[in-house]
Amino acid sequence: MSNYLVGHLVADFLKHNGVDIVFGIVSVHNIPIMDGITLNDSIQMVMTRGETGAAHMADGLARATGKVGVLISSTGPGASNAVPGLVEARFAGTPLLHITGQSATTHLGRGTGAVHDVPDQLGMLSAVGKGAHRVHSASEALVVLKQAWIEALTAPTGPVSVEIPIDIQRAQVARPSCAEEYMASAPVVREPEQWALERLEQMIRAAKRPMIWAGGGARAANEELAALLDKGFGMVTSWNGHGVVSDDHPSNLGALNGPGSPAVQDLYDQADLLLVVGSRLRGHETLDQKLKLPENLVKIDVDPAAEGRSYPCTLFVCGDAQVTLHRLLARLSADSQGQADPAFTQKVRSAKKQAIEDFRQTLGPYTDFAAQLRAVMPSSAIFARDVTLSNSTWGHRIFPLHEQSQNIYPVGAGIGQGLQLGIGAAIGSKDRKVVLLTGDGGFFFNMTELWTAVQENADIVMIVMNDGGYGVIKHMQDAMCEGRYAHSNLLAPDLLKLAELAGIPAWRVDRAEDFGATVKTAIETYGPTLVEVDMNCIGPFPPYYPYSAMIEATKASAQPTTKS
């Protein structure tokens, strides 16, 4: 037998399945895999500053490119450091393959004190991802890798981990005889049942004021959704689904999906059908399912369990979003009946303009930031964000996007992930600029990964909205704690000096009107750059809905009553 090891097999498996970039950190428990990647010059290994960053970068690459993201970690502490990235990838439905080491098989489950050994690592990874598998012998390594690959790509997609004990990584194995032997099968696509399609067609034909709510699960159905808009549907998206149809379409309100917007709520009141496609109708976008939606609600989802989640539905169609809508459109094209009321279509388009303008007027000194940024960003650029005041307001809701792959942010609402997501997107999409919008609090979570961006010369502009703390937490404390601020201010380094230390160009914005021009200069500079927005100079960011309403209610209740 030749000196072909399981570690080498892992690298060749990745290569033959289209992987050209992986993220991770070399360690005693993954050296044979890393050696396989070294021998395989078609794969770029991005060495990150931590496994958390590596996991988020793999996620960002997958979202931007449509490929499977790949993360390689060590066992024990290394695998546990990857957990935040696996959790976020599961929230976002990102197909991600996590390959981790494990203690030698002679030590597994025995508590012998082996290096990096932790009890039930497989259980931990199973809990935070879509699935987790262990390779028990050299001969089954390829089978397990294929199984994990297919599982990650089978809708609903998500992160899958594979443990390979170090002695198995070092074991010799027969080299597959041809490229086809390495390749995993395509995942099975769930087709909708015929009766459900027939009922869906009937409901669509009967509707005169139909709307769509499209989520991240509809990302492959962009053409079909656009065709329904052309038939008179109005549409909103979840924040994760934003960009599935270009915001240039006049009937697409994008992520302006309702809370705090009377114009959008009025559309829901008038609509006689809401088609929810690949969306969980998440609590933070529906006020924990208190947002009033049309009662005649139809769900299309690949996950059978989605029927009983959140809002009740009149009809549930279990099937792949793209396939289901494609089948539906084929049936609808048979004749011209069932067209929407043109007056409702016009109302949708008018409501879009009104809702955008209404929202702009809630932003105080930041009213024009979305427009300034859109004017200088290339139309193909990727918009990565962190959880921060600016993203939760104009970044999510009124910044126009043209493709869903441009829309990258922490779907699980975890702070501090945007930087790594953006770096991963930039490394994977070398032909597109990445613009990151983050707050200072989120940026400081993982700013060591700034050096990964420098190391890889990632073409990313990092916009840091700096208010010296956790601004959204302060708004919550205004609403819930009578303005008592606790643990929400930060001691932090000077960002321009930090950029100088990293060797990257940086600028500071202290006037709102200079924002766009400054970012334009950064965009025109290839490689990592940083733009700090001094929010203490520009002015406080107004609280957004629902915290604005809660604060006003608190103030009103504190006013003394006047006796007549």
DSSP-based three-state secondary structure for 537: helix
pLDDT (tens digit, 9 = 90+) per residue, 212-255?
999 999 999 999 999 999 999 999 999 999 999 999 999 999 99
Residues 6+ apart with CB under 8 A from 290: none
pLDDT category, 558, cuts 50, 70, 90? low
Decide: residue 111, CB within 10 A, 0-12 exposed, 13-18 middle, 19+ buried.
exposed
Please choose, from the candidates 171, 8, 11, the residue with its C-alpha nearest in 3D space to the C-alpha of residue 105: 171
Q: How far apart are CA 226 and CA 232, in angstroms?
A: 10
DSSP β-bridge partners for residue 444: none
Shared fold status for 194-356 and 361-551: yes
pLDDT at 548: 64
DSSP-based three-state secondary structure for 490: coil
pLDDT (tens digit, 9 = 90+) per residue, 379-405?
999 999 999 999 999 999 999 999 999
pLDDT (tens digit, 9 = 90+) per residue, 306-315?
998 999 999 9
CATH architecture label of 361-551: 3-Layer(aba) Sandwich (3.40)
Q: How far apart are CA 390 and CA 463, in angstroms?
A: 11
Lowest pLDDT segment from 94-98, 191-195, 514-518, 540-544:
540-544
Q: How far apart are CA 301 and CA 217, in angstroms?
A: 8
pLDDT at 337: 52
Please report which residue ranges of 66-217 form alpha helices under DSSP H. Answer: 77-81, 83-92, 121-128, 141-153, 166-169, 179-182, 194-206
**Residue 96: left (phi > 0), alpha (psi -120 to 50), or beta?**
beta
Contact present, 68 and 97 (Cβ < 8 Å):
yes
What is the distance in angstroms between the CA of the first residue and the CA of the last residue of the chain? 99
Q: How far apart are CA 490 and CA 445, in angstroms?
A: 12
- Tokens matching residue 156: 């609903």
The count of other CB atoms within 10 Å of the CB of residue 558 is 8
Q: How far apart are CA 191 and CA 325, in angstroms?
A: 11
Domain spans of the chain, in order of start: 6-182, 194-356, 361-551
CATH for the 194-356 domain, from 3.30.565.10, 1.10.20.60, 3.40.50.1220, 1.10.150.240: 3.40.50.1220
pLDDT at 526: 97
CATH 1.10.287.310, domain 6-182, yes or no: no
Average pLDDT value for the chain: 92
pLDDT (tens digit, 9 = 90+) per residue, 456-469?
999 999 999 998 87
Contact present, 298 and 200 (Cβ < 8 Å):
yes
DSSP-based three-state secondary structure for 5: strand
Q: How far apart are CA 281 and CA 261, in angstroms?
A: 17
Q: How far apart are CA 278 and CA 95, in angstroms?
A: 16
Q: Could you say which DSSP state residue 252 is in? A: B
